[in-house]
A and B are shown apart, each in its own frame.
Chain A
Amino acid sequence: MTAKPASAWIELRLPGALLIGVLAATPVAAQSPQGESWASIAELPDWGGLFEVARGGAFLPETLVLTPPYAARAAAYAAAEARGEIQDTPAANCVPPGMPVVMWEPYPLEFIFTPGKVTIMIEAYSQWRQIFTDGRAHPESPDPTFNGHSIGHWEGDTLIVDSIGFSLDTPLGRNYGARHSEQLRIVERMRLVEPDLLEITTEIYDTEALVEPWISTRVYARHRDWILTEYICQQNNRNFTTDDGKAGINLEHEVER
C-alpha cells in the first residue's frame, strides 16, 4: 500500500487562493478509477455488514488546536456555556452535526459499493454520504452542505476519501464552539485492520481555523448480523434548544390508543 504523495500535504498548507489551483492538479482526482464496473467491485475488500464506532471512538477527546480568532470564539462559547447561557446545541432540535461528527456517532454505518461510487449509509439521523470513485474531480464551487462533496480512490485495500464544500452551519467537532472556515477539507483513510475492525483516520485541514491539521483515528467494529434501523429524530423529540441557547424538555404525554 502506498501513501499519498507527501507533496500534496505540503501544498495543502499554502494560502487559500493558491490552494484551489494546486489542488485541482493533485493526484487525488487523477487516480485511475477503481470500482468502475460490477466486475471490479468483486476485487474490492469485503466491507459487508454494519460498522459501529468502537472502543470509545464516539467520544474521543478533541485536541484540536485553533487559531487565535477561532480559539477566541470557542472560548467565548465555552464561557457562555459556563454561565448557563448556552445549554445545548442545535442537535437537540434534531439538526445533524455534519462532517466529521456524523462518522463518530454511536450508531452504525453501512458501506455500499456500486460502480464508481461508495455510499455510506449513516443510521444517526438517517443520512448518507456519496463518495465518487469514478475519477471525477470536486466541483469548482460546490454547494455548501453538512456532509460535503466527496471523491475517493482505492490504494490497495485502503479507501481514501477527500471531502470539501462544508456548510458553515456545522461545528468543526463535537464542541459547537469550535467552528471551521470555508477552507475545511477532510481526508479519510479507511481500511480493515482486522477481519472485523475497520479503521478510519480522519485528517482535518483548515488553515484559517486550525494551527495544525487535526488528525484522529477511530476503529469501527463489524456487526454482520445487524441491519440498519430507521432514525427519524423528529418522531418524538422532547428535547429542545431555544434560539438563544436555552435547553428544555417537553413532558406533555397522553396515551394514544
Chain B
Amino acid sequence: MNAFSSAARFGIVLAGLFAMSAWAHHSFSVFDMQTEITLEGEVVEFEWTNPHTWAWVNVTNEDGTVTKWGFEGMSPNYLGRRGWTRDTLKPGDRITVTANPLKSGEPGGTFLRCTLEDGTVKVMFGR
C-alpha cells in the first residue's frame, strides 16, 4: 500500500466520523443515542444558561419515591431564536419529556422534545 492510498482512505474515514458531534460543544459519548425514554414529571427549574439549558424535573417512581432528572438541552442562544424563552418551562409545570438517557444509568439525558400541559409540543432541534 503506498502512502497516498493510505491517506486517501483516511479521508473517507474522517467523513464517516462526523455525525458523532452534532452539537457544537461536546460529543454524545455519555448518552445512549439509540434509546429514547419518555418521562412525565414536574419542573423544578429550567436553567436558561450556556452552553446548555438544563431542565430539572421531579419524576415520581413506581414505588412512590421521587427522582430529580436533569435534561440537557440546546443553548438559550439557539432556542431563543426558535420559539423558546426562559419561561417556556416554569417551576411547577407538568411536562412530558422525551430524551436520550445517560449510559451510566444516572437520572439524566439529552432533551429531545417535550409536551407542555396545554398539549403544545416543544422540540429542541429544528424550527
Contacts and interface: CB of A to CB of B under 8 A. Distances in A.
Contact of B18 (A61, A71, A211): A61
B35 to A, nearest CB: 16
B11 A247 contact: no
The range of chain A's interface size is: 35 or more
B115 interface: no
Contacts of B80: 229
A235 B101 CA distance: 23
Contact of B54 (A71, A107, A236): A236
Contacts of A78: 13, 17
Contact of B51 (A178, A226, A233): A233
Contacts, number: 138
A37 B27 CA distance: 45
The range of chain B's interface size is: 35 or more
Given A71-B7, A253-B56, A231 B30 contact: no
Contacts of A229: 76-77, 80
B25 A175 contact: no
A20 interface: no
Given A75-B10, A231-B51, A88 B29 contact: yes
B27 A247 contact: yes
A144 interface: no
A238 B72 contact: yes
Given A68-B3, A68-B7, A87-B30, 19 more contacts: A62-B15, A63-B14, A65-B7, A65-B10, A74-B10, A106-B78, A123-B77, A124-B24, A175-B17, A175-B18, A226-B81, A231-B77, A237-B51, A238-B54, A239-B25, A241-B26, A247-B26, A251-B107, A255-B91
10 contacts: A68-B3, A71-B7, A71-B10, A124-B24, A178-B14, A229-B80, A231-B77, A235-B50, A238-B70, A247-B30
Interface of B: 3-4, 6-8, 10-19, 21-27, 29-30, 44-45, 47, 49-52, 54, 56, 68, 70, 72, 75-78, 80-81, 91, 102, 106-108
Nearest 7 A/B pairs, CB to CB: A236-B49, A61-B15, A92-B26, A87-B29, A71-B10, A65-B11, A68-B3
Interface of A: 58-59, 61-68, 71, 74-75, 78, 81, 87-89, 91-92, 94, 105-107, 123-124, 173-175, 178, 211, 223, 226, 229-233, 235-239, 241, 247-249, 251, 253, 255
